[in-house]
Copies of this chain bind each other. A is one copy, B any other.
């Protein structure tokens, strides 16, 4: 029972049959074809040799097949995480050095350990603090940064920086060094990729080719472009003309190894690893949830943390770099019919074979072709409409999107997303510190009480009913005091104040002290202070304190009962004795 929770493979493998096998194998072939050029390209984006992208697409997929709970999620290198890897590792080592590659491995290991830790301690909820607006703004900004960075690859000039100001400056500085043959290879690749994606399928259909085969051919488009580019490089000796090629890479599969334990390095990479873990998890879990919902399946978010963590640890052991579940490839996997996580394991075998077969030829691959692959992939991430949508809905959400988007562009991925999260939390705190409050009256013909400014309601002279629309806690405790005192000062004939607590979900110690102060102050003025519609859990807390003993008034189950009872008594309210209130409380509230 417990084992199955942590090893979902024990569960689904017992139901595995020939039909699942066929579905998974077909999906694996399609995803493998799609993943090869992406892996090479994203590794380059991360500042790593292209073969590292292939390495990161082998063991992590097998680890996810053992520990993951989504049947459709395809893990591996993705654009945003590759950019974040480049930003983090670029600060501690020079690109192209051995230190750079091993720092990427340490980053994957740390990220894996963090994810597994969060999963074991069931801390997945912290991912909830990345709000939709923040994620949207971050992904759009990342797409822009990545596409801009790849301009260098397309133009054959060096670029540097992982935020826009530095990137743009480095492109402008090198603009005179454009290699036009590289530009031709890049532009050609871009054009071919675009045509394959947009026009190949209708054309194949017109040729009478069936849909299954057409899909396979369309997915193979990027691989064809890669092969074509390698052939051109060999045929026209592009290297001699100054076109940057990938160059010699180690052949075959990587040796397994544990990353070395370098404490200063770990300290420098810990925070980036945490941010990468959370961003990767949020991206991955939302893809997995969307796809699971379509087939009425469930995924288990805390186990997903363990699955992704295992994948990253596997990436570190297998010479890769941080990975997560990718959106596009998971959709392809899903559409191709992947029935279980085994599809991922089969994909891993496919990539391993490709690694062995491909590495001898990779030397000939023009980097501009990989840059073209990246540009086309990330441009679909850029979506400015979120700014308009958020603006229309609320200024707070707009602020979160805008701050995340522009801070990421201007200051880089880590600062950008951190500021976005901080801004969205601050906005939430600010709002809850100045809550909405309403004076309420009875909606005629009902027992329902609503805002006197929005509804035609009945009120009773001498009784003031205030509804505060927020939990009472330290940030708004003083606000509540000010509110009640101001109302009391404005109503000289006041005899009763009823605080309607239907929207009060918690009362903390600071707020309790404010309630005590309000009670005292109103008593001084000869005004009774009553509470109505206190929720059960809130009442449980209050019942443990002395507050109800001091209360110069009563606690009512409903606002209607409060008004009726106080009107019946015609201003003469009996002070509830402490024992009475406390004895009544658990039954009545």
State the A residues within 8 Å of B (CB). Answer: 125, 128-134, 293, 389-390, 392-394, 396-397, 424-425, 428-436, 438, 443, 446-448, 450-451, 454, 469-471, 473-479, 502-506, 508-510, 512-513, 517, 521, 535-537, 541, 544-545, 557-558, 560-561, 589
Contacts and interface: CB of A to CB of B under 8 A. Distances in A.
Contacts of A471: 432, 470
A558 B446 contact: yes
Contacts of A443: 557-558
A473 B428 contact: yes
Contacts of A293: 517, 521
B435 A505 contact: yes
B448 A558 contact: yes
Contacts of A390: 509
Given A448-B558, A560-B446, A131 B510 contact: yes
Q: Classify the secondary structure of A's interface with B.
A: helix
Contacts of A513: 132
A474 B132 contact: yes
Given A129-B475, A394-B541, 20 more contacts: A125-B434, A128-B479, A129-B474, A131-B473, A132-B513, A133-B474, A133-B509, A133-B510, A392-B545, A393-B509, A393-B544, A428-B429, A428-B508, A443-B557, A446-B560, A447-B447, A447-B448, A451-B536, A502-B502, A502-B503
Contact of A557 (B134, B448, B470, B561): B448
- Most-contacted residue by chain B among A389, A424, A505, A517 (CB, 10 A): A505
A128 B474 contact: yes
A436 B535 contact: yes
A507 to B, nearest CB: 9
A477 B128 contact: yes
Contact of A541 (B393, B446, B451): B393
A290 to B, nearest CB: 9
A469 B504 CA distance: 8
Contacts of A510: 131-133, 397
Contacts of A435: 505
Contacts of A506: 431
A561 B450 CA distance: 14
Contacts of A544: 392-393
